Amino acid sequence: MEAVTDTYTSFDGNRRIATGTLQMNALAVKQARDNGAADPVLTFDDATGHLVDIDTSGSDQQTLALAAAMSRRPLRPRPEDAQGPGGPRGPGRPTPGVVAGEVTLLPRHWEWLAGQPGGASVALRKLVQEAQRANAGKDKLRKAQERTYNFMLAVGGDLPGFEEATRALFANDTGKFRDLIAAWPGDLRDHAARLAPSG
């Protein structure tokens, strides 16, 4: 199965009808709606747990084209984005793939950064990389909890044990979380478990 962060999942009411690319989900949603689905047909971005609004009013080809245009953009900037509309930058400018941004610091912080080997930019990149390594586990857990909660809130606010399951989710009590959602409709339960931290 694809990684959770690379997929979308759609439901017709409590029944899962697709998991995969946004285009695959768009066609499944269109088919369900064209067949007169009585329940709400919802699509979720599995990376965030947020709802995705898919326009299925046109033909299959139009629906696919719109879904392709909506697909998640890459997180890493492309070299052409870093170069900007004027083409490659001159000497002393960031290399392709490096994106400039604004940072606000106190004067003593700037003084410390200026004294580091390679200057402020190199020092900041090293600090960010160290923080990313040190917090990788915490960041992964937080993202999994947030995407699971977003999904649960959209589909399970009135399901039995919702509040207790939410508390167990954020306490990282995997066993209790799974026990509390056990009575949920199967596809909703299984998807919430798939999005949740693994333990």
Q: Which secondary structure element, helix H or strand E, spans residue 70, and what is its range? A: helix 60-70
Query: Residue 63 has what pLDDT?
Result: 92
Between 61 and 101, where is the model more confident? 61
* Mean pLDDT calculated for residue range 122-133: 82
- The SS3 assignment for 167 reads helix
Residue 102 has a pLDDT of: 82
- 26-42 per-position pLDDT tens digit: 999 999 999 998 889 99
Encode pLDDT of 76-94 as tens digits: 444 444 444 444 444 555 5
154 SS3 class: helix
pLDDT at site 94: 56
Q: How far apart are CA 119 and CA 69, in angstroms?
A: 40
Distance of CA 156 to the CA centre of its chain: 19
In this predicted structure, which of 2-11, 56-65, 134-143 has the lowest mean pLDDT?
2-11
pLDDT band at 123 (very low <50, low <70, confident <90, very high): confident
pLDDT band of 185, cuts 50, 70, 90? very high
Range in 97-101, 132-136, 163-167, 184-188 with the lowest mean pLDDT: 97-101
User: What pTM value is reported for the model?
Assistant: 0.71
Q: What pLDDT does residue 37 have?
A: 87
If you average pLDDT over every residue of the chain, what do you get? Answer: 84
User: What is the predicted pLDDT for the residue at 170?
Assistant: 97
Q: Say if residue 99's pLDDT is above 80.
A: no
Indicate if the pLDDT at residue 181 is higher than 90.
yes
Place 120 in a pLDDT band, splitting at 50, 70 and 90: confident
- 43 three-class SS: strand
Identify the burial level of 53 via C-beta atoms within 10 angstroms of its C-beta, where 0-12 means exposed, 13-18 middle and 19 or more buried.
Answer: exposed
Task: Give the residue extent of every domain in the chain.
Answer: 4-70, 103-134, 136-195
Rounded to whole angstroms, how far apart are CA atoms 185 and 124? Answer: 48
